[in-house]
Amino acid sequence: MQASLPHRIPLTGVDRSTGAIDPRQRLIVALDVSTAAAAQKIVAAVGDSALTYKVGMQLYTAEGPQLVRELVASGRRVFLDLKYHDIPNTVGSAVREAAQLGVSMLTVHAAGGNKMLRAAADAAHTAPGLMVLAVTVLTSMDESDLEKIGIRGTVVDSVTRLATIALASGCQGVVASAREASSLRAELGNDFAIVTPGVRLAGTGHGDQVRVVTPAEAVAAGATHIVVGRPITEAADPAAEARAILGQMNV
């Protein structure tokens, strides 16, 4: 099954003769390492098997914005996953700075509410094509975890509620487990991106993720992008592992 692509999602690499999308446009490799040298080694090892790389809190805290600039300058797309969550003015200012780095995607926490999300979306307008993605419920959490922090109901209910707020506030998409993706598509349609972490090849370990799916399951559920870290970055042959994941995406 192939998920339909929302028209606002800036994907390139389309085969004009068939309309097919290069599956590499959907794969995001997570650079969850602590040094620029380690990150660049992964990028070199993956080669042209992936086009987009996630720079998260670990790497950004260690190396700062220069690595992001270098990745962008090398022609890679950067998904800046810092999950901004603060007062609207602070988040808007942070998004404007991220836009100056040339990133293609960034994250904010949907729990920040309408005003904060709107400030982020408005600030992103300084960089046409920059996607603001709202993090709904972390894939390391389940219903019991939500209940402990005072949120009752199912994960799907929480994800849908937060996604609805985010999209109404101008965000171009959400970050959610593929286990909720099909419900989001049914409730909210196709005109937004769903970026799915917690993706593992069939038969591999889950690590600290709880709500995990395979690449094929993620795409079939409606995910537009999948984020894969350790299965690629810790593989003996990262490029081959990335190609195996592309093959399983079934796009």
Catalytically annotated residue among 54, 83, 115, 148: 83
CA 33/CA 21 separation, integer angstroms: 29
Structure tokens given for 36: 């620029």
CA 223/CA 193 separation, integer angstroms: 7
Contacts for 186 with CB less than 8 Å, ≥ 6 apart: none
Furthest C-alpha separation in the chain? 52
CA 148/CA 104 separation, integer angstroms: 35
- Annotation marks residue 83 as catalytic: yes
Tokens 């038969």, residue?
A: 203
What are residue 55's DSSP bridge partners? Answer: 80
Structure tokens given for 212: 């995990």
Tokens 């993956």, residue?
A: 46
Q: What is the distance in angstroms between the CA of the first residue and the CA of the last residue of the chain?
A: 8
- Annotated catalytic sites, by residue? 83
